[in-house]
Amino acid sequence: MAKRSIPDIVIGRLPVYLRALGFLVAEGRQITSSQELGDRLGISSAQIRKDLSHFGEFGKQGTGYDIQYLHDQLRQILKVDRMWEAALVGAGNLGKAIADYGGFAGKGFNIVAIFDNDPAKIGAVMGVNQVKVQSVSELAATIHARNLIVGVIATPATDAQAIARTMVDSGVRAILNYAPITITVPTGVRVQYIDPVVGLQRMTYYLP
Amino acid sequence: MAKRSIPDIVIGRLPVYLRALGFLVAEGRQITSSQELGDRLGISSAQIRKDLSHFGEFGKQGTGYDIQYLHDQLRQILKVDRMWEAALVGAGNLGKAIADYGGFAGKGFNIVAIFDNDPAKIGAVMGVNQVKVQSVSELAATIHARNLIVGVIATPATDAQAIARTMVDSGVRAILNYAPITITVPTGVRVQYIDPVVGLQRMTYYLP
């Protein structure tokens, strides 16, 4: 598949479609339409049809989409029909919340290693996988040894860039960054930001 | 301004532009272009120009955008040139992390009230504003009394819908939901989800 031809902004919408389809599956629904998905997501039905058309034919005019089939296809396309093991750095309140997060289950991700630089936190056992917190000094060796290519940063802003560099130097190729700072990575490495401000600011526009 | 005419998807990109502009301001930069912004954000320069054109003329062909001016204009458009007081429900690890989050400062938001249903947490003082955690039984009265219209949900999934209903019945019109569940609200009330899975899944597509 000629991946270069599909805009990143389209890829960025697929997980949103997948989540909506997951909710529909959970509701016991079987068929949906680009119109219904669009109404739920605030995206035009034409946009949804156009986005999905990059990957093949998933529905027929007039009959809609088979929810489970489209859900499974999107999981394959996004490569989350497998389990990605991830390293989490930061075992403070935020790191604990991420390690405890129930929403990763069945979505393709598993926090298998946790790191902190605070001696009081190292050795603690936390999260849904009951992982023992390691020293950040072991981050590089652990990423290498376990072939981890997904990293999550939940450190203070001041530590985030250095952690990102260590992750990338050790083999990580996708970083989810909760620290409120932009981080620089080499070409070919992906970064996504979790930023509550973006979510809040897109709502205040509509407030009186 | 005829707000109905501007698609929500456009509004949704403005906070992303604002964040990028904030980084440029912090870097001491003065002029940028739709091309540079697009390269940083993975959005086409044409899309950025089209989005901004809904709100007026912010740059001139060939000279680019004045970063500080565009930054200030977007803050006004998104109504975050003021301070929105917000109620946070959930004082567990995630709630604590949100209350402690340094990234809200200067972005238009302030957590002024925190609620939990755990007697062990009620009365604790937490967050950048040193707010005393109240009982969830006081949520409705506090929202009314303080005229809060922004709410943040950081509860377990099982509690999120009931909390959302109480918030909305008391006057909240914008909810940031961290719980891994979809919540239903009346027309006119906005909900945004903070979902790390969406961020992770849009990266795995590119992984080998």
Which residues in chain B have their CB less than 8 angstroms from residue A187's CB? Answer: none
Q: Closest approach of chain B CAs to the CA of A63, in angstroms? A: 26
Q: Do A9 and B200 touch (CB under 8 A)?
A: no
pLDDT of residue B166: 98
Q: Is the dihedral of CA B177, B80, B187, B111 positive or negative?
A: positive
CA distance B27 to chain A (A): 11
The neighbouring-strand residues paired with B86 are: B111, B150
CATH architecture of B84-197: 3-Layer(aba) Sandwich (3.40)
- Residues in chain A closer than 8 A to B152 (CB atoms): 196
Q: Which residue of B has its CA nearest to A198?
A: B15
Q: Give the per-residue pLDDT at A4.
A: 53
Average pLDDT over residues A61-85: 93
- Find the closest chain B residue to A149 by CA distance: B207
Taking alpha carbons only, the member of A39, A34, A30, A37 closest to residue A66 is: A30
By the 10 Å C-beta count (0-12 exposed, 13-18 middle, 19+ buried), B208 is classed as exposed
> In terms of CA atoms, which chain B residue is nearest residue A171?
B207
Closest residue of A to B84, CA-based? A204
Residue A58 pLDDT greater than 90, yes or no: no
Question: Looking at beta carbons, which residues of chain B come within 8 Å of A195?
Answer: 19, 103
Per-residue pLDDT of B40-72, as tens digits, reads: 877 889 999 999 999 988 877 678 899 999 999
Per-residue pLDDT band at A56 (split at 50, 70, 90)? confident
Lowest mean pLDDT among A40-44, A160-164, B103-107, B127-131: A40-44
Residues from chain A that touch B208, judged by Cβ atoms under 8 A, are 173
Residue B183 has pLDDT above 80, yes or no: yes
B55 contact residues in A (CB cutoff 8 A): none
- Among B98, B192, B79, CA closest to A200: B192
B198/A16 Cβ within 8 A: yes
Residue among A8, A84, A194 minimizing CB distance to B196: A194
Can you tell me the ipTM of this complex? 0.92
SS3 of residue B110 by DSSP: strand
The bridge status of strand B84-89 relative to strand B64-66 is unpaired
Reported as a single tens digit per residue, the pLDDT across B111-152 is 999 999 999 999 999 999 999 999 999 999 999 999 999 999
Check residues B182 and A87 and name the one with the higher pLDDT: A87
Q: What is the average pLDDT across B195-200? A: 93
**Residue from A37, A107, A41, A38 nearest A66 by CA:** A37
A12/B200 Cβ within 8 A: no
CATH 1.10.10.10: does it fit domain B3-77? yes
pLDDT score at B4: 53
- Distance separating alpha carbons of residues B53 and B140, to the nearest angstrom: 41
Strand partners, A54: none
* Closest CA–CA distance from residue B109 to any residue of chain A (Å): 8
How would residue B1 be classed by pLDDT, with cut points 50, 70 and 90? very low
pLDDT, tens digit, 9 for 90 and up, residues A7-26? 888 999 999 999 999 989 98
pLDDT of residue A1: 46
Q: Please indicate whether, in this complex, the C-beta atoms of B14 and A201 are within 8 angstroms of each other.
A: yes
- Which residues pair with residue B39 across a beta bridge? none
The domain spans of chain B are 3-77, 84-197
Q: Do domains B3-77 and B84-197 have the same CATH topology?
A: no
